[in-house]
Amino acid sequence: MQAEIITIGDEILIGQIVDSNSAFIAKELNKIGVSVYQITSVEDDRDHILQSLHQASERSSLVILTGGLGPTKDDVTKQTLCEFFEDELVRDEGVLQHIENLFAKYISTPISDLNRNQALIPSKATVLHNAYGTAPGLWLKKGETSFVSLPGVPFEMKRLVLDQVLPRVIETYDRPHIIHTTLLTYGLGESAIAERIEEWENNLPYHIKLAYLPNLGRVRLRLTAKGRDKEKLEKEINEKVEQVYPSIKDIYYGIEEDGAIEERVANLLTKKGMTLSTAESFTGGKIAEELTSIPGASAYFKGTVVSYATETKINVLGVPSELIEKHSVVSEEVAISMARNVKNILNTDFAIATTGNAGPSKGDSDEDIGTVFIAISTPECTFAEKFTMGNHRERIVKKSVNKAFELLWKEILKF
Amino acid sequence: MQAEIITIGDEILIGQIVDSNSAFIAKELNKIGVSVYQITSVEDDRDHILQSLHQASERSSLVILTGGLGPTKDDVTKQTLCEFFEDELVRDEGVLQHIENLFAKYISTPISDLNRNQALIPSKATVLHNAYGTAPGLWLKKGETSFVSLPGVPFEMKRLVLDQVLPRVIETYDRPHIIHTTLLTYGLGESAIAERIEEWENNLPYHIKLAYLPNLGRVRLRLTAKGRDKEKLEKEINEKVEQVYPSIKDIYYGIEEDGAIEERVANLLTKKGMTLSTAESFTGGKIAEELTSIPGASAYFKGTVVSYATETKINVLGVPSELIEKHSVVSEEVAISMARNVKNILNTDFAIATTGNAGPSKGDSDEDIGTVFIAISTPECTFAEKFTMGNHRERIVKKSVNKAFELLWKEILKF
């Protein structure tokens, strides 16, 4: 079976927000064996929504809509659904009670008619209870196709998908299994990899697809298998991975589904009971932020000094000012001093330090824009490596954060 | 005139990546007066791409495609465009030369036939030079509709849009002006705002649209005006903003197009020649990271101590351990001590400090999950406020970072 997603809202079509809702829904549907055939973003406009509903229902047996359920005038999804289903809005007493409770509990302003109107529901719809907001989800059927309408607020949408939509989809549809395994590689372009693995790729069976996903100096190789027998699929994918491994082992660094590199660092440190601190200059706290976005970080992450100014490197991190004068602030020696000192100050087993020039101006150093040093301090040694990361500020920071985690990960494995 | 965007790639439909390309393109088109009618994400599949091309060309006079131009087998956009335009692939010597130059300069592996094949171009296409990659952009025409095909790698796509596509669109099409002004509010729900401004909203002229955009405790009010006379539109929008201001002045904190709150803080500090440091606990460096993502941060931002562990608060920030014992680590007193001390250690005019409990477990404090303290230190005083931010880790951090910038912004205005 296949599904479609329709996201409704002018803010997507004028580029005011990035549509992350549909990526979330697509990923969750995929996990339970539902392929998403198309994602369509349309305006808050009756005619356009109707056209999309018609087209989607001709192609797919499940259509999920997000957005346009708010209480204000610019939102027209509910009225348009009534037209599409030749239905009318009726008051749902359960929803009204829930809205009144939310207002009494959390909202300081008095409840208004606009709020009460959110309890008006197409009479043919099943209500999906939205514990976190005033707009309920709706489940409707026309012929063989189910239509699900969800609020566009990401947090409310996510809870509705996980708690209400997925269980109903599992109950309603017979679905195959879809398994993704994504091999992570670095240091080689997609066409060079394609040549290395050409014979293996040509011999993949029809139900296993390969995709090359290049980004920021890395290529991810995604294998997707689809079929009825989950165990057989997993066995086949594992065999294919083992077959290809010898051809890519020098550029391979893991499997995406095992978690991102920062998660693998986190798991490894937690398992070993070891700790980490960071001293960040041009990465500006990005390494710390990625670490602390993982629940449980307090077990292994003690803290960071973001030493954006040179005087902070001297006064807080204790980097000798002579070292900076002699080698400049963007240098191997300063990176090593930062890593070693933050490890001592924060009393940790490992430390990462970054110093570099992310542009757009040259700052306190003579090094070219894109030149960075990443230092790793371990219980046994401290070293720094130099990298040239291009000339685009955001990319320099992202690539450096990735590289820092890669370097650290390889070191932690030794302990 | 209106445009459509078609993003091609299985990775979007399985939710492996969020489609940020189309938001970028939509925003840039909007700036030059081109409305985007629909965004469609489809698989790397011949039939599906053909269907989307046909449908889009019936509705819109400009169709921009991204993705599917790589050298490997899974990419089929170029061949499919040939079918759609009844065309054939021919070698473009200029593109071939560029690919060979890129390989000679940047890539350590030898050039292969797969790479050379990227110089095969539909004969009817105009080549858009891609300085940063091997897949050129393509511009094709069918009847009154132009089709632009761009690589999916965000960095290459962005440069092509800015340097090549937009100038051609400006030259080719007669376009109206589109102006957005988004009023930022906090502390009141969308329906309560709608009631306050009902009369004003009802009296908006037809060519000015209003949208309510709620998220994370804030509602943004977006006014969009479309027409031929740019000056007249700007005047009208300004009048409308002045008319509505008295009704929302207690919840208003700025205009989005003037920059996000962190950008306004950055501009204000730069203008006043004043400096900032932060001491972050549960926000884990997120405040520092947002500040340093703005070019020129080194002018006012000196650094951060991410004191994730209690011992880091004591050893690096010098928070007295008795204070922590007496009031607990998540307290007004500790927040104030953190802010005051980091301001002194890093020698800045202002400081932000955060301490709180973002969950999922309670950590080193007895406070409930979602309880946070944000402290602001200024040249004249230091104070902390307590907030309850719900129970979702990511939202707690995001809302707190926003709140910290809001509190700081109001203080900087006093100097």
Tell me the pLDDT tens digit for each residue of A121-177: 999 999 999 998 899 999 999 988 999 999 999 989 999 999 999 999 999 999 988
Looking at the complex, does the CB of residue A39 fall below 8 Å from at least one CB of chain B? yes
Kind plus residue range of the DSSP H or E element containing B309: none
Contacts of A308 in chain B (CB under 8 A): 288, 292, 297-298, 301-304
CA distance A316 to chain B (A): 7
Q: Residue A282: which CATH number? A: 3.90.950.20
Chain B residues closer than 8 Å to A316 by CB: 303, 305, 316, 345-346
Residue B362: per-residue pLDDT? 62
Position A334: which residue type? Answer: V
Whether the Cβ atoms of residue A376 and residue A415 lie closer than 8 Å to each other? no
Higher confidence at residue A107 or residue A86? A86
Averaged over B340-367, what is the pLDDT? 86
Q: Is the pLDDT of residue B404 over 90?
A: yes
On whether the CB atoms of residues A307 and A280 are closer than 8 A, the answer is yes
Our count of domains for chain B comes to 3
Beta carbons of A17 and B10 less than 8 Å apart:
no
CB contact under 8 A, A39 and B35: no
- For residues A364 and A391, state if they share a domain: yes
Pair (A158, A193) in one structural domain = no
Helix, strand, or coil (residue A223): strand
Considering only residues 256 to 295 of chain B, which have any Cβ-Cβ distance to chain A shorter than 8 Å?
Answer: 277-278, 280, 282-289, 291-293, 295
List residues bridging with B127 in a β-sheet.
Answer: B138
pLDDT of residue A324: 94
Nearest residue to B292 via CA among A215, A287, A407: A287
Residue pLDDT, tens place only, A2-16 = 999 999 998 899 998
Q: Do A363 and B298 touch (CB under 8 A)?
A: yes
The answer, yes or no, to whether residue B363 has pLDDT greater than 80, is no
Could you tell me if B198 lies within 8 Å of chain A, comparing CB atoms?
no
Report yes or no for ipTM above 0.90: no
Q: How far apart are CA B101 and CA B104, in angstroms?
A: 5
pLDDT of residue B240 exceeding 80: yes
Structural domain of residue A218, as residue ranges? Answer: 177-258
Tokens 């908006």 appear where? B204
What's the rounded Cα separation, in Å, for the pair A34 and A167? Answer: 13
Say yes or no to pLDDT of B90 above 80.
yes
Residues with Cβ within 8 Å of residue B231, at least 6 apart in sequence: none
pLDDT at A268: 92
pLDDT one-digit tens code per residue, A262-316: 888 999 999 999 999 999 999 999 999 999 888 888 889 999 999 988 999 998 9
Residues A298 and A408 in one domain: yes
Same domain, A268 and A405: yes
Domain end, chosen from B258, B279, B311, is at B258
pLDDT grade, residue B368 (50/70/90)?
confident
CA distance B343 to A307: 13
Shortest CA distance from A22: residue in chain B: B15
Which residue of chain B comes nearest to A113, CA vs CA?
Answer: B191
Pairwise CA distance, residues B202 & B207, whole Å? 13
3-state helix, strand, coil in chain B (%, to 5): 45, 25, 30
* Residue A18: other Cβ atoms inside 10 A: 18
Question: How many other CB atoms are found less than 10 A from the CB of residue B291?
Answer: 25
Cα dihedral value A126, A127, A129, A133, nearest 10: 150
SS3 B35: strand
Query: Which residue in A191, A295, A364 is closest to B112 by CB distance?
Result: A191
The per-residue DSSP string of A254-282 comes to EEGGG--HHHHHHHHHHHHT--EEEEEST
Residues of B in contact with A213 (CB under 8 A): 11, 16-17
Residue that finishes a domain, picked among A258, A279, A294: A258
The CATH number given to whatever domain includes residue B228 is 3.30.70.2860
For the ranges A116-125, A184-193, B229-238, B363-372, which has the lowest average pLDDT?
B363-372
Q: Where does the pLDDT of residue A365 fall: very low under 50, low under 70, confident under 90, or very high at 90 and above?
A: low
Q: Is the pLDDT of residue A364 over 70?
A: no
Mean pLDDT of chain B: 91
Residue B374 has pLDDT above 70, yes or no: yes
pLDDT > 70? residue B223:
yes
User: What is the mean predicted confidence (pLDDT) over B328-343?
Assistant: 96
Note the pLDDT of residue A359. 77
Mean residue pLDDT across chain A: 91
Do B242 and B275 have their domain in common?
no
Characterize B295-330 residue by residue with b for buried, 16 or more Cβ atoms within 10 angstroms of its Cβ, and e for exposed.
Answer: eebbebbbbbbbbbbbebbbbbbebeeebbeeebbb
Q: What's the pLDDT band for B280 if we cut at 50, 70, 90? A: very high
B219 and B342 both lie in a single domain: no
* Contacting A residues, span 201-220, partner chain B, CB-CB under 8 Å: 201, 209-215
A363 has pLDDT over 70 = no
Q: Choose among B72, B194, B287: nearest Cβ to A212.
A: B72
CA gyration radius for chain A? 26
Report residue B12 CA to chain centroid gap: 18
pLDDT for B207 beyond 70: yes
* In a shared domain, residues A41 and A164: yes
| Mean pLDDT, rounded, for A341-358 | 95
Residue B365 has pLDDT above 80, yes or no: no
Report the residue of A292, A317, A330 to disrupt the B interface, i.e. the one with the largest count of B CBs within 10 Å.
Answer: A292
Same domain membership, residue A165 and residue A151: yes
Distance CA B146, CA A407 (A): 47
Q: Do B305 and A309 touch (CB under 8 A)?
A: no
Alpha carbon of B280: minimum distance to chain A alpha carbons (Å)? 9
Cross-chain Cβ contact B15/A37 below 8 Å: no
Answer yes or no: do A374 and A304 share one domain: yes
Q: At what angle do helices A46-59 and A77-84 cross, to 10 degrees?
A: 50
- Cα gap A337→A383, rounded to integer Å: 10
Which residues does chain B have within 8 Å of residue A35's beta carbon, measured at their own beta carbons? 13
DSSP annotation of A26: H
User: At residue A109, does pLDDT exceed 90?
Assistant: no
| pLDDT tens column, B35-83 | 999 999 999 999 999 999 999 999 999 999 999 998 887 889 999 999 9
Domain end, chosen from A258, A288, A320, is at A258
Q: How confident is the model at residue B112 (pLDDT cuts 50, 70, 90)?
A: confident
Tell me whether A70 touches chain B (CB under 8 Å). Answer: yes
- B292 closest CB neighbour out of A22, A38, A285: A285
The 10s digit of each residue's pLDDT in A49-83 is 999 999 999 999 999 999 999 888 888 999 999 99
Q: Are residues B382 and B252 in the same domain?
A: no
pLDDT of residue B48: 95
Q: In the predicted model, is pLDDT for residue A394 greater than 80?
A: yes
**Do strands B145-150 and B137-142 pair parallel, antiparallel, or not at all (unpaired)?**
antiparallel
A188 plus A100 within the same structural domain: no
Q: Please, which residues have CB within 8 angstroms of residue B79's CB and are 6 or more apart in sequence?
A: B46, B89
Residue with tokens 């083992």: A242
Question: Running DSSP on this structure, what letter comes out for residue B293?
Answer: T
Q: Give which of A415, A284, A259, A285 is closest to A350, Cα–Cα.
A: A415
Using a CB-CB cut-off of 8 Å, the residues of chain B touching A188 are: 109
Instruction: Return the closest-CA partner of residue B119 out of B107, B102, B106.
Output: B102
Cα separation, B128 vs B121, whole angstroms: 11
Closest CB to B201 among A73, A188, A302? A73
Half-sphere exposure in the Cβ direction for B179 (13 Å, CA):
17
Q: What's the pLDDT score for residue A341?
A: 96
Check residues A286 and A389 and name the one with the higher pLDDT.
A286
Residue A377, φ and ψ in degrees, nearest 5: -115, 130
3-class SS letters over B82-100: HHHCCCCEEECHHHHHHHH
Using CA atoms, how far apart are residues A72 and A94, in angstroms rounded to an integer?
Answer: 21
The Cβ-side half-sphere exposure at A363, using a 13 Å CA radius, reads 30
Kindly state the average pLDDT of the residues B329-335.
95
Statement to judge: residues A18 and A115 lie in one domain: yes
B164-205 pLDDT per residue, tens:
999 999 999 999 988 889 999 887 888 889 999 999 999 999
CA A185 – CA A255 distance, rounded (Å): 9
- pLDDT at A60 (0 to 100): 95
For chain B, percent of residues with pLDDT exceeding 90: 67
